[in-house]
Amino acid sequence: MNIKATLHAMLPHAGLGHLLETYLTWSGVGFICSFIASSLDKHSDVPYAAYYTSALNDAVGFKFWILLAVVGTLLFCLSLPVLYLSLHFPAMTEFSRRLRRFTYTFFLVAFDEGGLMIGILTANFIDTSERISLLANKSFLFSDVGFFTILALCLLNSLLWLFGEAIHSRNEQTYSGVVALLMKVPLRFSIPGYIVVTAVLANLVVSQ
């Protein structure tokens, strides 16, 4: 299988159109809300304005996004061997399906939260006013967000979508993409690779 065919096979059933549509939806919401909150902040002495301005600070937490991503990734690691066993032991099929759907939920919520976060940070990057920068700093606990930081977050968030849609497709109720490729890897390669990757991920989680 050549590189082009491999990259195409890695795409889940949802397709890139779904990725783009979801990104535009959630990042657009975060982007627009940032400017609305920034405008309302000019009238922070008015009770309703202060209330809705503070809502942006509570909308998305960077650490909460990391928590969702970590839990989803660990469940993904657990789902793979269960899925493999279900292919050989039909009695485990239903358990595997439920576990994959549960794992997908964490990836889905993390991706949506990430989209909101990227929209807010993009607004902060475009509008460098003190008010909107302060809102972003309060929300995500870091400042001076640049283009490459936003790009890195986009890539990481896209990986959440890739793994989430691969482990469970809502319409077909099955797996696809990266997961389908992994299920075809011979055990002599997949088992050592699985152990190494899972150990590295577990070590990263514990060392935080």
Q: For residue 161, what are the CA distances in angstroms to 24, 41, 56, 74, 188? A: 14, 33, 24, 15, 28
Closest CA to 157 of 41, 72, 39: 72
| Most confident listed range (35-39, 125-129, 175-179) | 175-179
Which residue would you say has higher pLDDT here, 62 or 182?
Answer: 182
Q: How far apart are CA 121 and CA 126, in angstroms?
A: 9
pLDDT range class, residue 141, cuts 50, 70, 90: very low
pTM for this prediction: 0.81
**For the residues 26-46, what does the mean pLDDT come to?**
73
Q: Which residue has the tokens 């009770």?
A: 47
Q: For residue 64, what are the CA distances in angstroms to 69, 113, 122, 138, 141? A: 9, 9, 19, 14, 12
Task: Determine the longest span between alpha carbons in the chain, in angstroms.
Answer: 66
Average pLDDT score, the chain = 81
pLDDT range class, residue 33, cuts 50, 70, 90: confident
Which residue would you say has higher pLDDT here, 24 or 45?
Answer: 24
For position 140, what pLDDT does the model report? 54
- CB contact at 8 A, 4 and 161: no
Residue 112 has pLDDT above 50, yes or no: yes
**For the residues 134-148, what does the mean pLDDT come to?**
58
